[in-house]
Amino acid sequence: LKFAGSIWICNLGGLQLPAKMVSRVCPGCVALSRVWGLGFWVVLLGDSAVSLTGIAKDLFMPPMHLTTLQWVGLVLCIAFFTGCAYTCMIRWSAVLVLRSTALSGEVHCIHHVLSPLFVAGFYRATISRMVKAYGLVVFIVAIGIVVSRLPYPWRQIVDTGVVLNLVVGTVALLIFAGETFARDRPPNKWGHFDFKSDDLQFAARSAACVENSEGNQRTEALVGVGV
């Protein structure tokens, strides 16, 4: 659709929006959209962890009659999900927090409304980030169906590992968000913004944020050593 006299400057996936539809979002609304985007995932992860804990705790209720094979399965499951938490969930949480900082007053209001999808990389992201975002949804649905059909104690064993993953993700989100917005120390070492290099609206802004953050950290380091 064409709007006479409009200049196309904003792109949401394949959807373009005219310049006259883009207006500055007030700082309060920016803060709310960031809370909405990150809070959505904090609540989702936290609620899922609480729900699955109700199932997983049955494994640790006395008497515990686990066979040697089941104990080995529990240890391996916890080890596997611990690795996933470190290599995936913490980095995923960092990406969410970093992308939330790109939601500024100059960004079109549609991105603020869709903040949970924006920060998670469901759109306006690199191909690899979008594959991970949508792949995570497919994985969660698939594992939910499979695990729900497992008999005791195997379902509880798997749920124990899943709860560990969810708790780590929730805590990482809260810590990264606090460090970013309270101390201006975004988790650049843990993740990336994952915007396409040709995304003129967000790629340049993310690069500037990284540069400013590194500059602030260098300044803090110099002050700390008394230079």
pLDDT tens digit sequence for 158-210: 999 999 999 999 999 999 999 999 999 999 999 999 999 888 888 776 655 55
| Residue 74: pLDDT band with limits 50, 70, 90 | very high
- Cα separation of 203 and 198, whole Å? 7
Residue 21 scores a pLDDT above 50: no
Residue predicted with more confidence, 211 or 192: 192
Q: Average pLDDT of 53-61?
A: 91
Secondary structure element (H or E) that encloses residue 68, with its range: helix 68-84
Beta bridge partners of 16: 11
pLDDT of residue 210: 54
Residues 124, 118: contact at Cβ < 8 Å? yes
pLDDT of residue 55: 93
Write the CB contacts of 197 (distance below 8 Å, at least 6 apart in sequence).
Answer: 203
Report which of 102, 104, 118, 90 is spatially closest to residue 176, judged by C-alpha positions: 90
Q: Average pLDDT of 70-91?
A: 95
Residue predicted with more confidence, 211 or 37: 37
pLDDT of residue 25: 74
pLDDT of residue 204: 72
Report which of 107, 104, 101, 100 is spatially closest to residue 9, judged by C-alpha positions: 107
Question: Global pTM?
Answer: 0.80
